[in-house]
């Protein structure tokens, strides 16, 4: 139940993420700063959302090359679960921990709205408390969430069940190929997603369906 939240200049969803993790786990998460060269012992690493380094160059590109991200990559290689949300997803992709790319939304607009998400793999360590096919309503808020992968990469992703959530019922907000909203890596311990489960954990959020994601990630079952 020991979570670490990565803090980088320009992120702004870190407080929401810290609050959600504390609410769900009952323990205050630790944090690691951009320039840290070691991480506390932990069972889960979360890279939250925001606008690291002002989205300069490409979203997440600068943050992905920070010292702390070398530690995140090393921990991921050891099998520590790593979750990236929104800009955190972009950072994990830029760091090479997840395949593909996240491009400008097809509409060219920043989207901030509720979308429908369908659980398309309920066997990942981030989705195992959901039912396969379950649809939840979840907020998104981003300008660059348009997931893209080459055809062969996409086929490999589908073959290994690497798509954990897809946008459902015509609510794809960004033009992502095959409605992809969340993907996992080959080892299955790294997941990136554009929607914000940390803003779906209290009744006042309009729902608590995001809790299952954190409960899945934090449960000790291998």
Partner 1 sequence: MKARVIVTLKNGVLDPQGKAIEGALSSMGHDGVEQVRQGKVFDIELDDAGADPEAKVKAMCEALLANTVIETYSIEIQG
Which amino acids are annotated catalytic?
A: 86, 196, 198
Enumerate residues 62-81 that contact partner 1 by CB under 8 A.
65
The least CB distance from residue 102 to partner 1, in Å, is 9
β-sheet bridge partners, residue 32:
6
Which residues, 6 or more positions from 47, have their beta carbon under 8 angstroms from its beta carbon? 5, 6, 8, 72, 82, 83, 84, 85, 87, 88, 89, 91, 92
Q: Is 110 helix (H, G, I), strand (E, B) or coil?
A: coil
**Interacting span for partner 1 (CB under 8 A) from 34-42, 105-113, 162-170, 211-219:** 105-113
- Per CB under 8 A, the list member of 29, 48, 88, 100 interacting with partner 1 is 100
x/- binding map, residues 131-160, to partner 1, per CB under 8 A? ---------------x-xxx----------
**Interacting span for partner 1 (CB under 8 A) from 3-11, 18-26, 46-54, 106-114:** 106-114
Is residue 204 at the binding interface for partner 1, with CB under 8 A as the rule? no
CA 194 to centroid of chain Cα atoms: 6
Is residue 104 at the binding interface for partner 1, with CB under 8 A as the rule? yes
Supply φ then ψ for residue 34, to 5 degrees.
-40, -45
Q: Which residue, 67 or 133, is less far from partner 1 as judged by CB?
A: 67
Which tokens go with 60? 């997440």
Which tokens go with 75? 């921990």
- Per CB under 8 A, the list member of 25, 52, 105, 120 interacting with partner 1 is 105
The least CB distance from residue 104 to partner 1, in Å, is 6
- Per CB under 8 A, the list member of 16, 58, 141, 178 interacting with partner 1 is 58
Contact 45, 95 (CB under 8 A): no
Sign of the CA dihedral with 188 first, then 99, 76, and 209 last: negative
The least CB distance from residue 161 to partner 1, in Å, is 21
Is residue 84 at the binding interface for partner 1, with CB under 8 A as the rule? no
Q: How far, CA to CA in Å, does 122 sit from each of 4, 5, 64, 162, 173? A: 24, 24, 28, 11, 23
Give contact residues for partner 1 (rule: CB under 8 A): 57-58, 61, 65, 94, 99-101, 103-108, 146, 148-150, 175
């Amino acid at each position: 139940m020991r979570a670490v939240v990565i803090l980088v200049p320009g992120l702004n969803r870190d407080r929401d993420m810290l609050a959600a993790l504390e609410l769900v786990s009952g323990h205050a998460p630790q944090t690691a700063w951009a320039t840290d060269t070691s991480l506390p012992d932990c069972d889960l690493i979360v890279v939250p959302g925001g606008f690291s380094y002002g989205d300069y160059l490409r979203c997440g590109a600068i943050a992905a090359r920070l010292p702390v991200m070398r530690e995140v990559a090393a921990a991921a290689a050891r099998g520590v679960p790593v979750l990236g949300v929104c800009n955190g997803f972009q950072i994990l992709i830029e760091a090479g921990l997840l395949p593909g790319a996240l491009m400008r939304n097809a509409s060219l607009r920043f989207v901030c709205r509720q979308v429908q998400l369908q659980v398309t793999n309920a066997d990942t360590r981030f989705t195992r408390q959901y039912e396969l096919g379950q649809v939840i309503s979840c907020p998104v808020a981003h300008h660059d969430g348009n997931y893209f992968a080459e055809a062969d990469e996409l086929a490999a992703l589908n073959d290994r069940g690497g798509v954990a959530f897809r946008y459902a019922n015509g609510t794809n907000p960004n033009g992502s190929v095959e409605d992809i909203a969340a993907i996992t890596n080959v080892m299955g311990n790294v997941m990136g997603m554009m929607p914000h489960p940390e803003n779906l954990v209290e009744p006042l959020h309009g729902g608590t369906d995001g809790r299952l994601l954190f409960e899945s990630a934090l449960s000790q079952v291998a």
